[in-house]
Amino acid sequence: MTRRMKLLLGVALAAMLTSPAALAADDLKLPRKAVELVAPPFVHPHEQTTKDGPKIVEFKLTIKESEVVIDDAGTKFQAMTFGGSMPGPMMVLHEGDYMELTLVNPASNTMPHNIDLHSATGGLGGGALTHVGPGEQVVLRWKATRPGVFVYHCAPEGMIPWHVVSGMHGTVMVLPRDGLKDEVGKPLRYDKIFYIGENDLYVPKDEKGKYKRYDSPGEAFSDTTEVMRKLIPTHVVFNGRVGSLTGKNALTAKVGETVMIVHSQANRDTRPHLIGGHGDYVWEAGKFNNPPQKDLETWFIRGGSAGAAIYKFREPGIYAYVNHNLIEAVELGATAHIKVDGKWNDDLMKQITPPGPIPPDKVGAAEPAAVTR
């Protein structure tokens, strides 16, 4: 190699290293933290408050297209997911932090994808800047300016509803740097956090009324779209399938523990209700700059949003957490269980007499007289 070629090569290399693309990752000169995501209903470890300054929080979402089972009857469904789970993982950071998200669409996939983060500002929530075909990846950075829980979902042009109801949605939680507060500014904390993502699924049936099976998402597209347009889901499920959070899969807590439940629905309205409990503090619209409501029996999650509720368990037992459209909860699958261990408190509830035969009427006792006016 000649001296001139070496010089030109050195100039070219220097230009590459100082180009906007090469410097983009370090232009803020902030500390970095890489987060290992976990599948719902669990959430990666995080601090509820921080005294540190802003940082860049690194996340990686790998898109996975795969066939999954969605009920106990073995119904097969062509799912498209962030990270391999329905919903995708929750990503947590603090107000003022920057999320640096690497979105990966492996070559083994067949569809184009992107991500629209409701928590982000500009560029269609990032959707305009994150289109990736199979075998591509993209890195997006955005600043967390609004505290709350927010939906993210796939939004490719011409296929948005299909990708969303096929499983491509999740939640971002942006915590205030000084933590959650009640209506008078008193700090609120949780001992555990669970993330429940509700999904309405639309599975085509054959002429005999049996659910159809497909070899790929693309093959399922036309039939699934036809079912979707009727707006009548075949399944309404928590975390990807009927029974995903019941029985042996039940969530667990203890009497005295304070639990936060984050609930998202990327497409339809829903009405979470904790049977046997309440929402001590509820951010129904999911935004932490607003004071929480107190003592709710049922709360309303608008389609395309996430909400958060905090409850301190006071009695042991099995609590059913449901979509209180009870047809969807009981018949279509939108039910979770929380198994709570601890000592029973008779002051809150006590069975005075157990079930037994109705006592016979006393001899000569008169029927109550009807009062008319």
CATH number at residue 120: 2.60.40.420
| Token code pair at residue 295 | 């003592």
User: 167 and 39, same structural domain?
Assistant: yes
The question of whether 347 is a catalytic residue gets the answer no
Please identify which of the residues 154, 159, 228, 260 carries the catalytic annotation.
154
DSSP one-letter code for 168: -
Q: Are residues 221 and 281 in the same domain?
A: yes
Q: Out of 191, 269, 297, 331, which one is annotated catalytic?
A: 297
Structure tokens, 156: 């490719």
**What length is written for the chain?**
373
**Domain assignment of residue 101, given as a range:** 28-179
Last residue within a domain, chosen from 179, 212, 228: 179
Q: Which of 90, 111, 168, 260 is catalytic?
A: 168
Give the residue among 342, 347, 345 at the shortest CA–CA distance from 317. Answer: 342
Q: Which of 179, 209, 243 is the last residue of a domain?
A: 179
Ramachandran angles phi, psi of 333, nearest 5°? 120, 0
Do residues 237 and 173 share a domain?
Answer: no
Alpha-carbon distance of 236 to 266, in angstroms, equals: 12
Catalytic residue among 116, 200, 280, 284: 116
Pair 101, 166 in one domain:
yes
Which of 95-104, 224-233, 348-357, 363-372 is predicted least confidently? 363-372
- Of 94, 163, 169, 263, which one is the catalytic site residue? 163
Q: CA angle 155-130-231, nearest 5°?
A: 5
Contact 245, 196 (CB under 8 A): yes
The verdict on whether 260 is a catalytic residue reads: no
pLDDT digits (tens, 9 = 90+) for 169-210: 999 999 999 999 999 999 999 999 999 999 999 999 999 999
Over residues 327-331, mean pLDDT = 97
Position 366 confidence tier, pLDDT thresholds 50, 70, 90: low
Same domain, 157 and 262: no
Report, in this order, helix, strand and coil percent for the chain, each rounded to 5: 15, 35, 50
Supply the DSSP symbol for 235. Answer: E
Amino acid identity, position 108: S
Instruction: Choose between 360 and 74: higher pLDDT.
Output: 74
List 94, 153, 263, 337, catalytic entry = 153
| 17 pLDDT more than 60 | no
- 122: which 2 tokens? 């500009």
Number of folded domains in the chain?
2
Structure tokens at 344: 């029973």
Mean pLDDT of 23-52: 91
| 273 catalytic per annotation | yes
Residue 169 bears catalytic tag: no
Q: Is residue 365 assigned to a domain?
A: no
Same domain, 266 and 329: yes
Q: Which residues on neighbouring strands pair with residue 358, listed in sequence order?
A: none
In the chain, the percentage of residues whose pLDDT exceeds 90 is 88
Residue 15 covered by a domain: no
The reply to whether 234 and 108 lie within a common domain is no
pLDDT at position 367 over 70: no
353 — alpha (psi -120 to 50), left (phi > 0) or beta?
Answer: beta
- 10 HSE (CA, 13 A, CB side): 7
Q: Is the same domain home to 34 and 153? A: yes
Under the banding of pLDDT at 50, 70 and 90, the label for residue 24 is low
- Supply the pLDDT for residue 290: 98
**In terms of domains, do 335 and 240 share one?**
yes
359: in domain: no
Residue 52 lies in a domain: yes
For residues 282 and 290, give the distance between their C-alpha atoms in angstroms, rounded to a whole number.
Answer: 10
Whether 232 is in a domain gets the answer yes
Closest Cα partner for 143 from 174, 179, 103?
Answer: 174
First to last CA, the chain: 113
Residue 299 lies in a domain: yes
Concerning whether 178 is annotated as a catalytic residue, the answer is no
Q: Are residues 147 and 237 in the same domain?
A: no
Tokens standing for 249? 């899969």
Active site residue 168: yes
pLDDT (tens digit per residue) in 132-171: 999 999 999 999 999 999 999 999 999 999 999 999 999 9
Tell me, yes or no, whether 147 lies in a domain.
Answer: yes
Supply the pTM of this predicted model: 0.90
> Catalytic site residue 298?
yes
- pLDDT higher than threshold 80 for residue 22: no
Do 147 and 215 sit in the same domain of this protein? no
Work out the pLDDT band at 4, boundaries 50, 70, 90.
Answer: very low
For residue 258, tell me if it sits in a domain. yes
Single out the residue of 199, 295, 303, 299 nearest to residue 245, CA to CA. Answer: 199
Last residue of a domain, one of 133, 150, 179: 179
Check whether residue 146 and residue 288 sit in a common domain: no
Catalytic one among 235, 263, 273, 337?
273
